[in-house]
């Protein structure tokens, strides 16, 4: 199984959005965030042309990022799942992923620091963060079998600038 872990794009400022008395779960992407995803998704498609599943957290900024990326993978099954919400237990996500066909390519879109912890958990079995994903960054993990702790090989980690650059190349 291949899993591409993607941090949502640039969202509205948390403090400014809180002043609107709206739930932070509803905080959307900025125009700049939308533009950046539109540019970087081409690079993602270049390095991973196929996706079977696109799962995002249930928060608005994650859903928007997944929807924009999903436009380039129209055949992929698309769902917002609570297993990618901030503070979720990686074991619950792992159980969901274990139900998928083992040859699947899955895109997971969520939040920091949870995604960095997930990468650590899958690569070395620990919750210790050894990296931090920038907004819009992507990381490919490959598993020989179903995902489980300390069973993934990190194939690549691309910051958003590199994804945008890859998307511009013909």
Q: Give the model confidence (pLDDT) of 88-125 as tens digits.
A: 999 999 999 999 999 999 999 999 999 999 999 999 99
Long-range contacts of 96-100 (CB under 8 A, 24+ apart): 96/55, 97/1, 97/3, 97/146, 97/147, 98/146, 98/147, 98/148, 100/1, 100/52, 100/53
Considering only residues 13 and 121, tell me which one the structure prediction assigns the higher pLDDT.
121
Provide the number of structural domains found in the chain. 1
* Domain, as residue range, for 26: 2-168
Asked if pLDDT for residue 77 goes beyond 80, the answer is yes
CATH value at residue 31: 3.40.50.1240
Res 131: pLDDT: 87
**Weakest-pLDDT range from 17-21, 78-82, 83-87, 89-93:** 17-21
């Amino acid at each position: 199984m291949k899993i591409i872990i993607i941090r949502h794009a640039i969202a509205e400022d948390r403090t400014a959005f809180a002043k609107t008395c709206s739930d932070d779960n509803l905080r959307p992407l900025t125009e700049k965030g939308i533009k950046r995803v539109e540019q970087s998704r081409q690079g993602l498609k270049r390095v991973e042309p196929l996706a079977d599943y696109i799962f995002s957290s249930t928060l608005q900024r994650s859903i928007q990022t997944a929807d924009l990326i999903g436009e380039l993978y129209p055949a992929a099954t698309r769902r917002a799942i609570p297993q990618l919400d901030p503070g979720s237990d990686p074991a619950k996500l792992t159980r969901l992923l274990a139900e998928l066909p083992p040859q699947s390519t899955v895109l997971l879109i969520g939040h920091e620091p949870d995604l960095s912890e997930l990468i650590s958990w899958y690569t070395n079995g620990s919750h210790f963060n050894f990296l931090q994903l920038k907004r819009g960054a992507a990381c490919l993990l490959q598993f020989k079998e179903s995902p489980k702790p300390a069973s993934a090989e990190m194939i690549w980690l691309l910051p958003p600038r590199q994804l945008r650059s890859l998307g511009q190349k013909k």
